[in-house]
Chains A and B, each alone.
Chain A
């Protein structure tokens, strides 16, 4: 088992006030309208408790048969300003990573600059023995194609 530590940052300029962006995170109905997987993915567990110490879970079975499990705990919430959470991601029974995710909302002009910083410990090695060789790259490509098809579907809408 080897561990890779890595950080990535996503920056978005959103055409909505920080309060509207924050509201999109705070209730299950609002969050479900955008935090979602392609329609051919079967949702197995969905828990949502948006408060410090509260937990969120999104467990789903993809078309390839892969079951992904996102398990998060909220660590810090400042209304209209920031959300900090820690999440584990599983593929089947294997834990892929533990990540600290910081979402900052900054008013900018009439909109919001969203900064998403994700610091993670990614585990690898021994994965093939757990999943079997036939998975490996295949599930990854399946997921990626699904993600990109979602992106394309929206571009055509």
Chain B
């Protein structure tokens, strides 16, 4: 999605078209990017158009956003690990 948006603004369906994901999954991923301030979207009629914000961001801001994304991803992985790791036998 980021790669596509780096070429220019695109509608949600244009972003979803090459991806092996449902439209609602694409919308969820876009929300993560929007919450992180990397993508802005606006609706004209029934079409939502997304624009990459990364070039407009200050360098320090980009690093902070990137850092937050990094740790969020590590915690996704921590959740997955805790879900499959055997309990150590302590009182749960």
> Measuring CB to CB, which residues of chain A are less than 8 angstroms from any residue of chain B?
2, 4, 6, 8, 10, 12, 14-17, 19-21, 23-24, 30, 33-36, 89, 96-97, 99, 110, 114, 116, 118, 120, 122-125, 127, 137, 140-141, 143-145, 147-148, 150-152, 154-156
Contacts and interface: CB of A to CB of B under 8 A. Distances in A.
A97 B25 CA distance: 34
Contact of A10 (B21, B55, B72, B83): B72
| Size class of the B contact interface (CB-based, 8 Å) | 35 or more
Contacts, number: 118
Contacts of B78: 12, 14, 21, 24, 34-35
Interface of B: 1-3, 6, 20-21, 25, 29, 32-33, 38, 54-55, 58-64, 66-83, 85, 87-88, 90-92
Given A140-B66, A141-B6, A150 B73 contact: yes
A137 B55 contact: yes
B79 A12 contact: yes
A148 B87 CA distance: 29
Nearest to B28: A155
A35 B54 CA distance: 26
Contacts of B92: 16-17, 20, 110
A96 B9 CA distance: 30
Contact of A124 (B21, B58, B67, B72): B58
A13 B33 CA distance: 21
Contact of A20 (B25, B74, B88): B88
B90 to A, nearest CB: 5
